[in-house]
Structure formats: C-alpha cells, structure tokens
Amino acid sequence: MSVIQAVRWSPAGDAVRIIDQTLLPERYEERDLRTLDDVCDAIARLAVRGAPAIGVAGALGLVVSMQPHTHEPAAPFRARLESYATRIRGTRPTAVNLSWALSRMLARAATMPVEGAADGTSALLDALREEATRILDEDRAMCRRIGEHGLPLIPDGARILTHCNAGALATAGVGTALAPVYLAAEAGRHVEVLADETRPLLQGSRLTAWELARAGIPVRVIADNMAASFMRAGRIDLCIVGADRIAANGDVANKIGTYGVAILARHHGIPLYVAAPTSTFDASLEDGDRIPIEQRARDEIARGFGRVTVPADVAVENPAFDVTPGALISAIISDRGIHYPPYDFSLRAPAAAASSGR
C-alpha cells in the first residue's frame, strides 16, 4: 500500500514541496513554494488543502518566506514575521489549524532573545525551522494515532461513505477520516469506500478516489445526491468525514454538504464519525454558529472547470463549509481517542465511554 506525501520540505530544505491538487486526477505534479506569494497562492487556490495540510504548509511556508530577510536587524525581521503570518493566516479563515500553526510559530519566536545583529535573525530562523519541522512530524504521528483509535470502528467488509477529502492529500500523513481506512487495509480487512463527488470542486471524485485507488483500496464514486438512495438500499454501513473546526459543544465545520450527509445518516440509523486532530478543536467557540464560514468565488460554481454552467446575470452562493450539530455525530475520533457526546475537549483523555462499545 503506497500512501503519498502531500506537503513536506523539499530535499534541499529551502522550499515547501506540495502536490498541486488542482491538477489531479488528470496530472500529477509537485511544486516547490519559496516565497510568501507562492505560499499564499497555493493555499488560497487549493493547490494544497485540507485543514491539517494547510497548517503544516503555513508553518513551513512562513520559514521559507523569511529566508531572504536574515540580513535584517531583529526589530524589522520580527515585524515582517508578524506581517507574513497575518497574510498567510488570512488565506483560509475557517480551518483553525492554519491559525493554530502560525500562532505556535510566533510563540516560538517570542521565546528567542532579542538581538540586534544579523546573527540573531539567523538563530531565530533556525528556531522557526525546528518548530515547523516539529509541526510536520507531529502531524504525521497524529494521523497514525487517529487511525489506530478509529480502527476498532471499521469492521471487516465495511462499506464506508466519505465526503470531500480527508486523506493523505489533506494532511502530512495518512489522513484523518481515511486514516482508519488505511490502517484497516493494512491489517488485512476488506473495506470499500464510497466517495461523494463533493461539489462544486469535486474533492471526493478527483482526490479521495485518486489517492485510494493509488493505494489499492477499493473505491467507487457517487454523486452527492445519490447518498440517500444508497443508504436506503443498505449499501452504506458507516460514514467518516474530517473537520476544519470543532466548537466546544461538538458542532463541526466541514466541507459543504456534510450537514446533509449527517441528517441522512441519522434518519437511516447509520453511524457518522468525524475524525480530526486536537488542533482542530476550538474551545474558544461555544458552538458552531460562531465558526466563520469561508465564502469562495462565484466562478467555482458558475464556470466549474472552465465551462459556463450559470447564466451571467444570475447570482451564486458559494460557502465552502457548513456546520453539523454535535447531536448528529456518533463520535469524534481524535489523536487522543474516541470522544462521545456530551463532548469534553479538555486536555484529559476521553471518558471511559470510548471503550464501552457505544
């Protein structure tokens, strides 16, 4: 089983290497990001995407964008660092991982002594590189732990519906929602994934199907509006999706259409699991109504993949995410374990209910 690496350091360590996901599945191409504009453009236009992946890309990208400025004295260097972090942070407002990773980078910078010479800025950049590398390595380990915690929820022969892409392409590791699937296949279990197309950008058909087929895991694509019929026909055993932000009460922001899948799953008595790292939990937000929802460009719907599909004088709404109430979620799988409602995302381990078989 071969799992790709969506974001990492370039071999020379002077750039962020990504898979350009806008080209998949027609063409596989890697890109090296070296400038602030490169990083912001790649995140904004979804060349690199997925909440954990953009957090890693933002951290690594902050380092490479600051590389040309180590000649500056400490004060302007630190001011530039804050400015660059703010600009990267603004590219995708919904996914909390990006803001979390950049805040962590700035906190690391704050621990370094203030120096007036260029040597001080070089040492600061080295410290930032070490912190970004830790974020990268932790993301890989986090994915593996999510897979291990979620594995007991994947029986042999399971038919699994997923929405959008929360696999290796969305992280630095084996994914979040797809991590238990990869580990189930690794353990010799027979599983099949039904990938919603995930309109309007088709992350399910273009990305999830591509990476699973490449890894040798059976997958078939269905249009978003087919899920209800497949559930009614008994062709789906469980649903697993990722998350871009999770509020304190367990409300989950994920790709638009997730809310509909959750309602369908509840109606048909099918468990819906959300898989996400603890960096996605936002305890500062009481509920999902307070999660900012990114609005994307009209042309993603009106000129999807180059063809006019909406009359020029007709308005378009294009929210990238919706919010699924925590009450519709069977459990949340994190790198700390399985969380059951009522949700408690404090730093202690999940309650004993995680092993109660619910």
State the DSSP H helix or E strand holding residue 332, giving kind and residue range, or none if neither: strand 331-334
Q: Are 81 and 59 in contact (CB under 8 A)?
A: no
Question: Which amino acid is located at 189 in the chain?
Answer: R
Please provide the distance, in angstroms rounded to a whole number, between the alpha carbons at the two ends of the chain: 31
Distance separating alpha carbons of residues 258 and 243, to the nearest angstrom: 10
Q: Are 81 and 109 in contact (CB under 8 A)?
A: yes
Distance separating alpha carbons of residues 275 and 174, to the nearest angstrom: 12
Cα separations in angstroms, 191 against 57, 212, 238, 352: 31, 11, 11, 28
Q: Which residues are catalytic, by number?
A: 244
Sorted by sequence, the CB contacts under 8 Å of residue 346 that are 6+ apart come out as 283
DSSP letter string, 135-195: HHHHHHHHHHHHHHHHGGG--TT-EEEE-S--SGGGSSSS-STTHHHHHHHHTT---EEEE
Distance separating alpha carbons of residues 235 and 229, to the nearest angstrom: 9
How many residues appear in the chain?
358
Question: Which amino acid is located at 238 in the chain?
Answer: L
Cα separations in angstroms, 237 against 18, 53, 281: 34, 28, 27
Sorted by sequence, the CB contacts under 8 Å of residue 38 that are 6+ apart come out as 61, 65
Burial (CB count <10 Å: 0-12, 13-18, 19+), residue 44: middle
Distance separating alpha carbons of residues 87 and 89, to the nearest angstrom: 5
Distance separating alpha carbons of residues 142 and 190, to the nearest angstrom: 24
